[in-house]
Amino acid sequence: DIQMTQSPSSLSASIGDRVTITCRASQSISSYLNWYQQKPGKAPKFLIFAASSLQSGVPSRFTGSGSGTDFTLTITSLQREDFATYFCQQSYSTSLTFGGGTKVEIK
């Protein structure tokens, strides 16, 4: 299986900050990388697909980039509603795998 490693596992940030989360694949996955946001007690929400394409309705302050093995999710100007846990997920293999998650907390 393809292993997905996210870093950091958690971070503290303030409203208005720029936040960057990294996801690394154990082998090249081209651009087969998706991002999700999950708030406590809720189901995940689909944010970004194909590494950099924004899902409909997702604010433009969320951007994704990368290809191959290294990917980033950036939130420009962090808003209160963005405090959540973020997961990457590869779809290069039909055995889908998620990263371990990055919890974004209020500083």
Nearer to other proteins, 68 or 101 (CB): 101
Question: Is residue 87 packed enough to be buried (19+ CB in 10 Å), middle (13-18) or exposed (0-12)?
Answer: buried
Distance CA 42, CA 12 (A): 21
Beta-bridged to residue 105, according to DSSP, are 12
Nearer to other proteins, 77 or 93 (CB): 93
Give the residue, chosen from 23, 75, 87, 104, that forms a contact with other proteins under the rule CB under 8 A: 87
| Binding of other proteins by 62 (CB under 8 A) | no
| Binding of other proteins by 14 (CB under 8 A) | no
104: left (phi over 0), alpha (psi -120 to 50) or beta: beta
Among the residue ranges 17-25, 32-40, 65-73, 74-82, the one whose residues contact other proteins (CB under 8 A)? 32-40
Beta-bridged to residue 95, according to DSSP, are none
| Binding of other proteins by 101 (CB under 8 A) | yes
Distance CA 27, CA 69 (A): 6
Give the residue, chosen from 20, 49, 67, 72, that forms a contact with other proteins under the rule CB under 8 A: 49
Give the residue, chosen from 19, 36, 62, 78, that forms a contact with other proteins under the rule CB under 8 A: 36
